[in-house]
Amino acid sequence: MTDQRLPAEERALLAAVLDTFLPGSPEWPAATDLDLPAEAIRLAGLSVAGLAPLRALLAALPAGFATHGPDERETALTALAASEPAGFGAALQAAYNAYYIDPRVLAIVAAKTGYRPGAPQPDGHELPPFDEALIAAARTRAPHWRQA
Amino acid sequence: MSAPKHVHDACDVLIVGAGASGAAVAWAVSGDTGAKVVCLERGDWSDPRSYLSADDQWEIHRQFRRSPNPNTRGLDVDYPIEDAQSPIKPLLWNGVGGSTILWSAHFPRFHPSDFRVQSLDGVADDWPLTYDDLADFYELNDELMGVAGLAGDPANPPRRPRQTPPISPGKPGERLAAAFDRKGWHWWPSDVATNSRPYGDGRGACNNCGMMELGCYQQAKASTDITYWPKAIRNGVELRTRARVVELPVDASGRCAGAHYLDAAGELHFQPAARVVVAANGIGTPRLLLASRSERFPDGIANSSGLVGKNLMLHPLATAIGVFDELLEGWKGPTACTIFSQEFYETDPARDYVRGFTLQALRSHGPAITALGSFATPLPWGRRHHERFEQVFGRTAGLAIVAEDLPEQHNRIEVDWSQRDRDGIPTARMVYTVSENSEQILAAGAEVARELLREAGAVDVIEQHLPADSRFHLMGTARMGDDPRRSVVDGFGRAHDVDNLFVVDGSTFVTCASINPTPTLQALALRTAMHIVEEL
> What does the angle CA B489 – CA B495 – CA B497 come to, to the nearest 5 degrees?
120
* pLDDT digit string, tens, across residues B367-384: 999 999 987 789 999 999
| Partner residue opposite A96 with nearest CB, options B333, B368, B390 | B368
pLDDT confidence bin for A1, thresholds 50/70/90: very low
* pLDDT level of residue B35 (50, 70, 90 thresholds): very high
From B463's Cα to the closest Cα of chain A, the distance in A is: 19
Q: What angle do CA B222, B55, A107 make, to 5 degrees?
A: 120
Contacts of B62 in chain A (CB under 8 A): none
Q: Percentage of residues in chain B with pLDDT exceeding 70?
A: 100
Convert the pLDDT of each residue in B247-289 to its tens digit: 999 999 999 999 999 999 999 999 999 999 999 999 999 999 9
Q: Does the CB of A63 have a partner CB in chain B at under 8 Å?
A: no
Q: What CATH number does residue B144 fall under?
A: 3.50.50.60
Q: What pLDDT is stored for residue B301 in this prediction?
A: 98
Over range B44-49, report the average pLDDT.
96
The residues with which B280 forms a beta bridge, in sequence order, are none
Residue B477: Cβ within 10 Å count: 33
- Give the domain range for residue B521: 6-363+395-535
Helix (H) or strand (E) holding B398, with range, is strand B396-403
Residue B174 lies in a domain: yes
Closest CA to B458 of B371, B344, B318, B364: B364
Are B37 and B301 in contact by the 8 Å Cβ rule? The answer is no
Residue A136 maps to a domain: no
Helices (H), B347-410: 367-371, 385-392
Is residue A3 very low, low, confident or very high in pLDDT (cuts 50, 70, 90)?
Answer: very low
Q: What is the pLDDT of residues A66-98, one digit of tens each?
A: 999 999 999 999 999 999 999 999 999 999 999
Q: What pLDDT band is residue B423 in, cutting at 50, 70 and 90?
A: confident
Whether pLDDT at B237 is above 70: yes
pLDDT at position B197 over 50: yes
Whether B156 and A145 lie within 8 Å, measured CB to CB: yes
Distance from CA of A99 to the nearest CA of B (A): 8
Q: Does A23 touch chain B (CB under 8 A)?
A: yes
Q: How confident is the model at residue A104 (pLDDT cuts 50, 70, 90)?
A: very high
Contact yes or no for B386 and A105 at CB 8 A = no
Number of domains in chain B: 1
Q: Is the pLDDT of residue A14 over 50?
A: yes
- Chain B nearest C-alpha distance from A9 (Å): 22
Listed residue (B279, B239, B278, B275) closest to B258, CA to CA: B275
Characterize A32-48 residue by residue with b for buried, 16 or more Cβ atoms within 10 angstroms of its Cβ, and e for exposed. Answer: eebebbebbbebbbbbe
Q: Do B189 and A118 touch (CB under 8 A)?
A: no
pLDDT of residue A2: 44
Question: Would B385 be classed as within a structural domain?
Answer: no
A130 in any annotated domain: no
- Dihedral sign computed on CA atoms, order B135, B138, B143, B147: negative
User: Using an 8 Å Cβ cutoff, are B318 and B453 in contact?
Assistant: no
Per-residue model confidence (pLDDT) at position B175: 97
Q: What is the 3-state secondary structure (H, E, C) of B84-111?
A: EECCCCECCCCECCHHHHCCCCECCCCC
pLDDT of residue B10: 98
Q: Which residue of A has its CA nearest to B186?
A: A138
Please report the pLDDT score of residue B2 as a whole number.
86
- Taking contacts as CB-CB distances below 8 angstroms, the residues of chain A near B391 are none
Q: How far apart are the C-alpha atoms of B221 and B198, rounded to whole Å?
A: 10
Report residue B171: phi and psi, to 5°: -60, -40
| CA–CA separation, B536 and B533 (whole Å) | 5
Q: Reduce the secondary structure of B416-485 to three states and give it as a string.
A: EEEEECCCCCEEEEEECCCCHHHHHHHHHHHHHHHHHHHHHCCCEEEEEECCCCCECCCECCCCECCCCC
| Nearest-5° Cα angle at B47, B41 to B50 | 135
pLDDT of B374 reads 87
**Gap between the Cα atoms of B373 and B379, Å rounded:** 6
Q: Which of B302, B280, B261 is nearest to B15 (CA)?
A: B280
B140 lies in a domain?
yes
- Determine the angle formed by the axes of helices A52-60 and A37-44, rounding to 10 degrees: 130
Residues of B in contact with A139 (CB under 8 A): 152, 154
Contacts of B187 (CB under 8 A, 6+ apart): A138, B176, B177, B180, B181, B339, B340, B341, B343
Interface touch A101/B57, C-beta < 8 Å: yes
B384 lies in some domain:
no
Contact yes or no for B372 and A93 at CB 8 A: yes
Residue contact B165–A130, C-beta within 8 A? yes
Task: Among B386, B387, B393, B514, pick the best mutation site for testing chain A contact (most A Cβ within 10 A).
Answer: B386
Residue A71 at interface with chain B, using a CB cutoff of 8 Å: no
User: What's residue A4's pLDDT?
Assistant: 61
Is A89 inside a domain boundary? yes
Per residue, the 3-state secondary structure of B215-277, as one string, reads CCCCCCECCCCCCHHHHHHHCCCEEECCCEEEECCECCCCCECEEEEECCCCCEEEEEEEEEE
B379 located within any domain:
no
Query: Which distant-in-sequence residues (6+ apart) come within 8 Å of A16 by Cβ?
Result: A65, A66, A73
Whole-angstrom CA distances from A3 to A12, A43, A52, A58, A95 are 18, 12, 10, 16, 19
Q: What is the pLDDT of residue B375?
A: 74
In a domain, A48, yes or no: yes
A84 assigned to some structural domain = yes
Q: Is residue B456 part of a domain?
A: yes
Q: Structural domain tally of chain A?
A: 1
Cα-flanking dihedrals φ and ψ of residue B11, to 5°? Answer: -115, 165
> Is B59 close to A126, i.e. CB distance below 8 A?
no
Cβ <8 Å between A100 and B371: yes
The C-alpha of B16 sits at a distance from chain A's nearest C-alpha, in angstroms, of 28
Confidence band for B497, pLDDT divided at 50, 70 and 90: very high
**A74 at B interface, C-beta within 8 A:** yes
Provide the residue type at B57 as one letter: Q
Smallest Cβ distance to A96: which of B150, B157, B372?
A: B372
pLDDT in tens, B93-107: 999 999 999 999 999
**Residue contacts between A and B (CB atoms, under 8 Å):** 184
Q: Report yes or no on A125 lying in a domain.
A: no
Q: How far is it, in rounded angstroms, from Cα B430 to Cα B411?
A: 8
Instruction: Check residue B471 and give its pLDDT.
Output: 78
Domain that includes residue A68, residue range: 8-119
* B24 sits in which H/E element: helix B20-28
Average pLDDT for chain B: 96
- What is d(CA B215, CA B435) in angstroms, rounded to the nearest whole number? 33
